Structures are given as C-alpha cells and as structure tokens.
Amino acid sequence: MSNVMLVLIVLGLGVIGFVLGRGRAMSAAGGDRRNLHSLPMYYGANVGLNAVVPAMLVLFAWLIVQPMVINSSVSGMIPEAEIAEGSNLSLMMSDVRRVAEGLDLAVGQGAMTEAETRSAGEDLDGLRDNLAGVGVALGSDITDSTFAAAQRYRVLAGTGHLWKTIATITASLIGLAVAYRMTSTTFRARNVVERGILMVLIAAASIAILTTLGIVLSLIFNTVEFFRLYAASDFFFSLSWNPSFSGRGGGSELGILPLLWGTLYISFIALLVAVPIGLFAAIYLSEYASKPVRAFAKPLLELLAGIPTIVYGLFALLTVGPLLVSVFGRDGALGVDWMQGGTAVMTAGLVMGIMLIPFVSSLSDDIINAVPQAMRDGSLGLGATHSETVRQVILPAALPGIVGAILLAASRAIGETMIVVLGAGAAARLSMNPFDAMTTVTAKIVSQLTGDSDFASPEALVAFALGITLFVITLGLNVFALFIVRKYREQYE
Amino acid sequence: MEDMYQMDRTMSTEQDIKIRANGVQVYYADNQAIKDVDVEIQDKMVTAFIGPSGCGKSTFLRCINRMNDTIDICRVEGDIRIDGEDIYDPRVDPVQLRAKVGMVFQKPNPFPKSIYDNVAYGPKIHGLARNKAELDEIVEKALRRGAIWDEVKDRLHAPGTGLSGGQQQRLCIARAVATEPEVLLMDEPCSALDPIATAQVEELIDELRQNYSVVIVTHSMQQAARVSQRTAFFHLGNLVEFGDTDKIFTNPEDPRTESYISGRIG
Ligand SMILES: Nc1ncnc2c1ncn2[C@@H]1O[C@H](COP(=O)(O)OP(=O)(O)OP(=O)(O)O)[C@@H](O)[C@H]1O
Ligand SMILES: [Mg+2]
C-alpha cells in the first residue's frame, strides 16, 4: 500500500468520523440542535480532526524515523575492509539501497520471482544484468556483503511498511473512537475544534520555517566543509577569482571580492536606472494620473514584472549590448573605444534596472496612496502647489516606505542571475570601467556547480560559501527594509 | 429718517463685503449637498455657520477656498466672489487663492514633520521670511496665537504627529495663521479642545477679527453666540436663515432655526 493510498484512507476515515460525530450529536440532542452546546458541524469536525491529525503525525514521524533505523541496522553488515578506495560508507549504503530498489522493481515488473531474488546471491553478475534490464544501472560490482545487506534492507523495509500502515490506521481509528465517545450534548466541541484548527495552522507555519532552517543549515554545513579545505581569509580578502578545473586540485584562487564588486556595481547601476524612473512613474500614477489612465497604466507597468528574467537576458545580449557597443565601442558613435564587447556591467545594469522599475513603482505607488488625503488637503489649503505638496509633504511622509521598496529592489538586484550571465559576461574582474565585462556572485555559483567537478572539491564547495555570503547580504537588506517599512506604518496611527 | 438709516447701512455693508456667494450649488456626483445658497460675508467680522450634521457646512466652507477641486466627484456651480473677483474664473490660480484664504480642517492634520516645520511650512513656501531669525519669530508668534506655545516651546523639533488631538488642532490653527491669510476658514476648530484651550482659541478669533474676516463652523450654540457677529443656519443643504447673531439667537424668523437653536432638531 503506497503512502498516498494510506493518506487517502485516513482522510476517508476523517469524513466518516465527521458524519458519525454529527449524527451522534444530533441524536443525543433528540434532533434539536438548540440542545447542543455547539453547532452539529463542530461535533462532526471534532471527530474528523481526531481521526486525521494524530494519524498523520504518526505517519510523518514514521517516514522520518524508519530510514534512519534501517540504515543504522544495515550499515553494520558492511565490513570496514570492503569499503573501496575513494569511497565511503554512505556511498556504499546508497549502492545497497539501489540494489534493494532494483530487486523490488524486478519483482514488481515480473522480471524475477521472489524465489529467484533469494537465490540471486549465487550469480551476482547475472543479477547485475537483470537489474540493468529493469532500468537500475549500478556503477560498481555487487559484492556478497552488499547483496546480503540489500536483502536485509528489503526485509526490514517490508516489515517497516507493514507496521507503518497498521500504526497509522490504528491511530486514526483510536482517534475516531475516542472523539466519538466524547460526543455528548454538553461537550464543548466548538472550543476543541478552535484549538484543533490552531494546531493545524501552527503546523503549516512550522513547516515553512523548518524548511528555511534546513536550507540555511545545509548552506552552513557545506560552507564549514569548504573552509576546512580553503582558508577563509583567502576567500574573503583575496583579490582574484581564478578557479582551476584541471581536477588536480590546488592552485585555485577563490577570492569573493571581484565577484562581490561585480554584484554591487551592476546592482548600483540597476538602481540608478530603476529608482528615479520607478519613483517618478509612481508619483505620476498616484498623484497626477486620472482614474482611467491609472487603471490602464498601472497593470501595464506591472506586466513588466511578469516577464521572465531570461527574456530580459536575451534583450541584454541581443539588443542593449550591441547598441552600447555601437555608441561606446571602438568604431562607435563617440569614437571612444571604452567598450570591447557587448557584455558589460553597463549592459546588465541597464537591463536589470528596467526589470526593477515595476518593483519600485508599484510598491512606491501603494505607499504614496497610503498617505492620507488629509495631508494633501493640509498642504494645498496653505497655498502650496501640487508639486510642492508632493515634494515637501507626501514624499517625506512616504519616504521610509519608499526606502523599504528600494531596498527590496536592491536585494532582488543582488540575487539576479540570468541577466548577468547573458549581459555581463563571465570574467571576474576588479575594474572601475562600467563598460568592462564582469560577473557576479550568483553567476559564479551557477558556473561552479554546473561544471563536472567533484562535489567534494573546494571549487564546487565554494558555491555554498558564496551562497551564504549572498544570503547574509540580502537578508540584512530585507531585515533593514522591513524594519523601515514597519516604522513607517506606525506613523498615522 | 428711517429710510435714510436703512440706506446708510446697506451702503456701508456693500463696501465691507469680503465674500459674496450667489446661487451656489454643490453636487457630489448626483447627490446635491448645497442648494442655491446666497451668503455675504463681511470683512473684519466673524461669521458662524451652524446646522445639523451633514447639512453641508463643511462643503460650503470648502467652496470658498476651492478645496472641493481636489475631490473628483465634486461639482460647484454658481458665483463666489472675494473682493469682487470671481474665484471660479479660469484665470484665477487656486494656489494663490488658498494662500489668501486659509483653512483649519475639521480633523487635525499635522504633517509628519517637526512642530517647527509644520508651522514654518506656509511661510517658507510663500517666502514670508528673509532669514532664519525672522522665520523663528513668525513661528513663535503663530504658535502663541494658536495658544500652544507654552506647551511646545521646549520641543519644537519633536514630530507634530506626536501631540495630543487637541494640541494637534491648535498646531493646525497656528499653521494656518502663520501665512497671514486675509480670510480664515475654521471647520469646528474647538471640537477637540478643553474649555481653557477653547477660550484661548476664541480669544484668537476675536483678535484676528481686527484684521481679517473669519468664518467658523461650530456645533456649539454658545460658541457661535460668543464669537460671531453674523450667523448662518444651514439645514439639508439650504441656507435657512442668515443675519446678525443676536437676532438669530434671540428672535429667529424661521421656525426651523428656532427649533434647532432650542435643541429640537439636529
Ligand atoms: N467627499 C464626499 N463625497 C461624497 N459625498 C460627500 C463628501 N463630503 C461630503 N459629502 C456629503 O455631503 C453632505 C454634506 O456634508 P458636509 O461634510 O458638508 O456636512 P457638515 O455639515 O460639515 O457635517 P458635520 O457637522 O458632521 O461636519 C453629506 O450628506 C455628505 O454625505
Ligand atoms: Mg463638517
């Protein structure tokens, strides 16, 4: 029985519980709902929730614990000596799991019988071919101990599965029965359901938080691993980025500074484009535009935010880059020869700026609109013009919110990848010239992980260190932005 | 003799009329809020607008400095003249007009700036001060007239939004008088004030009367009787009765005025 089936059964029991609970409450009240403490629906929901929630918790816990238990019990079967050169226990264990899965699959597809799997230990090469036949290719040869471990794994998994099903359904039935028995006219089902719903909401919230925590922890562990192989001071202070991919290891220079410089330079240019244009557009839309214009222009501007960044990247590569070269390049309109190729900080920055306009304008527009009309009246009533009112009353009042919007746009710019890959090039460089090709942290994370380098090498692990540095920077910006926005909210209360 | 006296009186009022409104109608979309109102507001006098809630006092007041322009759905018809000049003439700049006709709003609306900057806002925009010292002087004088100087003199640079409701209202009064308007429109300026501050504001109104004309909306009959020389009674968008305050309160002509003053409608 698959897990999905199991969940469906539990949900089915929940529905049955709902109907039963409601029915019992109604009959206890003699068919008159006024005799009940709560609406009949709440009695039903109480029984339903009791049938579903504890069972789900059991299932969830089981799914987490079972693999751990089986792993630890099976891994003892693999002798130290057999762990091959350049391998380790966890790699061996993954082989064991693959063999076990392969056997399951082979039995499931009818390629082998259960009896054949038991005797397969005598012909390991034949087994390997058999498994390849059902689509499970194995890298290394199957050893005797691997096979034995795989068989044990299958047995344990099978029993575990059976007990999981039994435990889940039992939990569901017990919950249902207990809640059903509690149902009486004086039972305060409404309050219990209220608490139950609170639990469900808390569970949803904790899943979101735990996932984030998991991501951060995995970043941290890998970063620690990286710093064991590569000196942190070199990473943070070295002025050059020059990873070697020869596979021989060593000789790589993995300094973050050129990448950070590229990131900040491109983001700066992007904000230089996005902030004035976005802000002025927001002021026009919220203060001057008539209703029909606003109704038409605002969604249009927000459409810009819906364009995938890869499309902006293409725009940078194919349109903006060549255009800039034709102006600032060697034979360009200005004849200055500042720009060697189409990919440059300027190209990526301009296009990224266009991408960010709707962010700035849409948020600022909302914030400007939130400034009470009484402020405008007060200023206009003193004989100020419209633009004086905007400049001296509305913008200062909305400023914290606008700063928040800009910081959010900035963290968006720092995290942007596609436009950089296509628009700014791949050369890590510390240069002041905005027409030079440069690259950013995000673009390098992609290129470090998409090569075929070993995942345990510093050249690959550096991606995690880069990632966490970026994460800390954008997190800081976001927290700062939220702090400012929140401060602003208090102002009119 | 009787005739002579009558003529003399009309002549003199003719000269002193600051604001003359004729056949004013105001619509919010299809809903008519002011119906054919004629009013003459004299210079150097306090005119009180009274009437039940929702009868259009604020709406009419906002016509006088064209604040209704800022409401999309609001339409004003008729003729309003200040010093004989039609303020709804296309050549008139509403910004200029509002500098001349100041307003204190029904709800206090200090800017989210410091107390000092709130008051200095108007004088700065209109260039009333040549230097910082002069500006300081204007601000202090305005705050004194708004009867709030003593409370805020030690925290001029604290935000105006941090004051209490009544203090904010007086700050707004100070802000309005700082620009030295010729006409001051006050929409229930004392609704959030305690009796002491109310007395101070009434004193200010009396003082302003020496140089300006003041229009005050109030729900307090006593206040109207105390501070105003002329009173207009509005009811359901109509101007029911307009005349000398003494007369309105002692001997009203219209039965509706009488029942409102004696507390039977409202
Ligand atoms: N911005 C607006 N949009 C639509 N209708 C409005 C608006 N402002 C006022 N009105 C309507 O115009 C009428 C008069 O309103 P107004 O604010 O002038 O009353 P008021 O006499 O000042 O009342 P109060 O004493 O309660 O302040 C009311 O019926 C009100 O619903
Ligand atoms: Mg009003």
Domain ranges across chain A: 3-187, 253-492
Q: What is the pLDDT of residue B191?
A: 87
pTM of the model: 0.75
Q: Are A309 and A391 in contact (CB under 8 A)?
A: no
| Closest ligand by atom to B31 CA | 1
Query: Cα separation of A99 and A138, whole Å?
Result: 8
**Radius of gyration, CA atoms only, chain A:** 32
Q: Contacts from A297-305 at CB under 8 Å and sequence distance 24+?
A: A298/A362, A298/A365, A301/A357, A301/A358, A301/A361, A301/A362, A302/A358, A302/A362, A303/A358, A304/A354, A304/A355, A304/A357, A304/A358, A305/A355, A305/A358, A305/A359, A305/A362
Q: Say what the ipTM of the complex is.
A: 0.88
User: Letter for the amino acid at A110?
Assistant: G
Query: Cα separation of A296 and A306, whole Å?
Result: 16
The whole-number average pLDDT for the span A107-127 is 77
Say whether A397 and B111 touch across the interface (CB within 8 A).
yes
Give the pLDDT confidence of A200-256 residue by residue, as tens digits: 899 899 999 999 999 999 999 999 989 988 888 888 988 888 887 655 556 778 889
Pick from A422, A436, A301, A284: nearest CA to A355: A301
Q: What is the pLDDT of residue A247?
A: 52
Say whether A383 and B113 touch across the interface (CB within 8 A).
no
Q: What is the pLDDT of residue B216?
A: 95
Q: Which residues of B touch A (CB under 8 A)?
A: 65, 67, 70, 72, 95-100, 102-103, 105, 107, 109-113, 121-122, 125-126, 161, 172, 175-176, 179
Q: What is the pLDDT of residue B7?
A: 45
The pair of structure tokens assigned to A13 is: 């029991």
Say whether A378 and B125 touch across the interface (CB within 8 A).
no
Sheet of B101-104, strand order: B101-104, B183-187, B213-217, B46-50, B230-235, B238-244
The whole-number average pLDDT for the span A440-464 is 83
- B76's enclosing H/E stretch is strand B74-82
Q: Ligand 1, residues B57, B217, B234: which to mutate, most atoms within 8 A of Cβ?
A: B57
- Classify domain B18-261 at the CATH topology level: Rossmann fold (3.40.50)
Question: How, if at all, do strands B230-235 and B46-50 pair?
Answer: parallel
Pick from B61, B40, B11: nearest CA to B184: B61
Give the pLDDT confidence of B174-189 residue by residue, as tens digits: 999 999 999 999 999 9
Pick from A222, A288, A263: nearest CA to A413: A263
Q: What is the pLDDT of residue A30?
A: 86
Which atom, in ligand 1's list, is nearest to the CA of B71? Answer: 1
Q: What is the pLDDT of residue B9?
A: 46
Does residue B56 have its Cβ closer than 6 Å to ligand 1?
yes
Query: Cα separation of A420 and A348, whole Å?
Result: 6
Say whether A382 and B107 touch across the interface (CB within 8 A).
no
A419: phi then psi, degrees, rounded to nearest 5: -65, -35
User: Chain B: nearest CA to A294, how far in angstroms?
Assistant: 14
Chain B residues lying within 8 Å of A372, measured CB to CB: 109
Q: What is the pLDDT of residue A488?
A: 64
The whole-number average pLDDT for the span B8-29 is 76
Does residue B55 have its Cβ closer than 6 Å to ligand 1?
yes
Q: What is the pLDDT of residue A107?
A: 82
Say whether B176 and A375 touch across the interface (CB within 8 A).
no
Which chain A residue is nearest to residue B95, measuring alpha carbons?
A383
Per-chain residues with Cβ under 5 A from ion ligand 2: B 58, 106
Q: Are B111 and A378 in contact (CB under 8 A)?
A: yes
In our burial notation (b when 16+ CB lie closer than 10 A, e otherwise), range B104-124 reads bbbbbbbbbbbbbbbbbbbbb
B183: phi then psi, degrees, rounded to nearest 5: -125, 135
B101: phi then psi, degrees, rounded to nearest 5: -115, 95
Give the pLDDT confidence of B118-170 residue by residue, as tens digits: 999 999 999 998 999 999 999 999 999 988 999 999 999 998 988 988 899 89
Domain segments of chain B as ranges: 18-261
Nearest to A385 among B65, B95, B97 (CB): B95
Contacts of B75 (CB under 8 A, 6+ apart): B26, B27
Chain B residues lying within 8 Å of A375, measured CB to CB: 109, 111-112
CATH architecture for residues A253-492: Orthogonal Bundle (1.10)
Query: Cα separation of B67 and B59, whole Å?
Result: 9
